[in-house]
Amino acid sequence: MRLPVQELMNMYKNNVYAVAFNICKNASDAEDVVQDTFLQYYMTHKSFDNEQHIRAWLLRVAINKAKNIQSSFWHRNGMPLDDYIETFSFETPETKELFEEVMKLPKKYRVVVHLFYYEDYSIKEIAKILRTTESNIKVRLSRGRAKLKDALKEGWEDEQ
């Protein structure tokens, strides 16, 4: 099964961007990852089983490309995340606070939390995408939640 690139971009551009931004923590790098991901899809001659298979493949490619950018010289010597957070608009202050805390998580927890909560993937699907075991994903998700809970709890205690 192959779908036209333009159709896939309309359906999954935001998902690919969100995953890429989650790893890169940089809007321009995430945009590059989106472009490279769809270009790779266009150039590949791979046949897919169904639309979900295409979506998982796109996200896997985006994750790999984002990791490559993150390990590059430019990423190691780039600007801090705080400079970019100011360019986003959030519905509520709590949404911004949650976003900031998620972005502070270590990458292995941040990616799993993002795929589970923002992309609505199951634990089994995340395990396939990240090429690890389901139990590993459950542990990462649990630890990520615990870190978020602690971080957000501290914020609420400071305000009282």
The number of folded domains in the chain is: 2
Domain match, 122 and 106 both: yes
Is 0.85 topped by the overall pTM? Answer: no
H or E segment to which residue 128 belongs: helix 123-130
Domain match, 27 and 67 both: yes
CATH code for the domain in which residue 14 is found: 1.10.1740.10
Q: Vertex 141, ends 135 and 143: CA angle to 5°?
A: 105
Provide mean pLDDT across the span 5-29: 92
Q: Which of 69, 88, 107 is the last residue of a domain?
A: 88
Quick check: 93 pLDDT over 90?
no
Quick check: 91 pLDDT over 90?
no
pLDDT at residue 103 in the model: 83
Provide mean pLDDT across the span 123-148: 94
Quick check: 79 pLDDT over 60?
no
The pLDDT-based confidence of 127 (bands split at 50, 70, 90) is: very high
Exposure string over 121-144, b if 16+ CB within 10 A, otherwise e? bebebbbebbeeeeeebeebbebb
Contact 54, 143 (CB under 8 A): no
